[in-house]
Amino acid sequence: MPRSLTILVVAFFVVAVAWVVLSVGRVPVPGIAYSLHVTSNPRNGPLAESPDGRAFAYAVWNSNERDAIGFNSWPLTTGAPLVVSRSFDLYVYDLVARGAPRRILRWTDADVDHTSLFCWSPDGIIVRRGPEPYTPWLVDPSSGHAQPMVPWSEQLLGRLYNDAHRIDTRVIPETRFHPELDVDRFFLWNPAAHRREWLFDLPLEYDGHPARFAAQKKQYRAEHEQRASFHEVGTIGSDSDGDSLYLSVFAYAREPGPAARLYRLVVHLDVPDTAGWREHSFGSRPVLIDSVVVRCPPDTITLRRSYSLRQLASYIRAIRGGGGEVYDGIWHTGVEAELRALPIPGEPATMFGTGGRANSLNAGPIEVPLGHRGFGKQPPP
């Protein structure tokens, strides 16, 4: 082999080995500046409300990352960033005093990858730490002092979790004040106004380092803010008068927009699926009974629609035996109401259409009287 070729092969080998070592060893090349970013995940556990409801805690998992170098930056490799350090941060936010969230704890050891916020008990904030079998830690919400829970059991943690999240009281979240997290943005839900109040956003930088994909996060937040301005279907009720049944659909926007907009209200009625009776299947199927364009103001509205009892009773004529729920001349069935936001020029087309993010669907029970003008006498058994 010629001497020049040997030197070239050896030089290539040395460079390749150095490149791999620099990548694996996470050693930056002297004289080259590398971007340091942070990837943050605020979903290391649920939002933990304090027992008195005056504050809440949340956790953020941070990963400080450097741009890929050497072998990791080759086109045929993943190009994944190199992790420099990781941390688990625990924050407390005062819903009364407001202001900025307060960080009370930071862990930077190897166990942060397996650490998550559990709940806020009367004795303090509980954090599950370490891989299985994990250890629960109790954190003082004022000082941030943390210590392992001793003694503890799965039954004890389950009871504390249920108490903290009010599972045993069966309180519907939409009917009480509570904090919400939506795409790194925090809100306080107001049940009286049927809207949420903005509290703060997670920053797009941590410890002076910019968040990775900050531009995409801004766009994603803007899209979700727009989505929150669309109306959602809340409660559905009905009442009858004379030969008509009136449907009341309550709609609200979690973050009211600047102006009213148009929607298509689509209503389906659950009717017996008589086609399946031969196979002894007594299910139901939706039947379209309404599709109309409505105008909704920015905040809340109750949409009222009327339907002929004669028309509704026609769906129940074929019922025999177990095909439906009819008691004392009243048909007990269900109805589905869907609001489909109509696009405005310039809005992303992906948010609209059947099944799009601009749609809201809810269902509720209704009672259809069947005794009007000879219709709907209770069918024989």
Boundaries of every domain in the chain: 3-33, 39-172, 231-374
**Does 141 score more than 60 pLDDT?**
yes
Question: Over 60: is that where the pLDDT of 291 sits?
Answer: yes
* Confidence at residue 55, expressed as pLDDT on a 0 to 100 scale: 96
Q: Quote the pLDDT of residue 1.
A: 55
Q: How far apart are CA 157 and CA 160, in angstroms?
A: 5
> In a 3-state reduction of DSSP, which class is residue 131?
coil
Q: How far are the Cα atoms of 10, 86, 159, 265 from residue 163, in angstroms, in the given order?
A: 68, 32, 6, 39
Confidence of residue 103 (pLDDT cuts 50, 70, 90): very high
Q: Is the pLDDT confidence value at 72 over 60?
A: no
Q: Comparing 36 with 314, which gets the higher pLDDT?
A: 314
Q: Which residues contact 286 (CB under 8 A, 6 or more apart)?
A: 268, 269, 270, 271, 336
- C-alpha distances in Å from residue 29, one per residue of 55, 100, 339: 46, 39, 57
* Confidence class for position 113, pLDDT limits 50, 70, 90: confident
pLDDT at position 150 is 87
What is the pLDDT at residue 230?
92
Mean pLDDT check: name the lowest of 99-108, 292-301, 316-325.
Answer: 316-325
68-72, 101-105, 199-203, 257-261: the lowest-pLDDT one:
68-72
Q: Which residue has the higher pLDDT, 98 or 279?
A: 98
Looking at domain 231-374, which of 2.60.40.10, 3.40.50.2000, 3.90.1150.10, 3.40.50.150 is its CATH number? 2.60.40.10
Q: Which residue has the tokens 């629609």?
A: 305
Tens of pLDDT along 4-32? Answer: 767 776 677 766 666 555 554 444 444 33
- Which range, of 10-24, 44-58, 352-366, averages the lowest pLDDT? 10-24
pLDDT of residue 151: 87
Residue 342 has pLDDT above 80, yes or no: yes
Interval 330-349 mean pLDDT: 86
What pLDDT, in 10s, does the model give residues 160-204?
888 887 644 445 567 788 899 888 899 999 998 999 999 999 888
- Tell me what pLDDT residue 326 has: 72
Residue 277 pLDDT: 63
Beta-ladder partners of 330: 327, 369
pLDDT at 222 over 70: yes
pLDDT in the model for residue 104 = 96
pLDDT score of 30: 42
* Average pLDDT, integer, range 207-233: 84
Looking at per-residue pLDDT, the higher value among 271 and 208 belongs to 271
Least confident span in 69-78, 212-221, 285-294: 69-78
Answer for the pair 143, 112: CB distance below 8 angstroms, yes or no: no
Q: What is the mean pLDDT of residues 266-284?
A: 75
What value does the mean pLDDT take over residues 316-330?
60
Greater model confidence, 76 or 112: 112
Query: With pLDDT > 90 as the criterion, what percentage of the chain qualifies?
Result: 34
Measure the CA–CA gap between 70 and 26, rounded to whole angstroms. Answer: 10
pTM assigned to the model: 0.74
Q: What type of residue sits at position 125?
A: I
pLDDT at 379: 40
Could you tell me the two tokens for 364? 């509720």
Q: How confident is the model at residue 275 (pLDDT cuts 50, 70, 90)?
A: low
**pLDDT confidence tier of residue 272, bands split at 50, 70 and 90:** confident
Mean pLDDT estimate for the chain: 79
Share of the chain above pLDDT 70, in %: 73
3-state secondary structure 160-171: HHHHHCCCCCCC
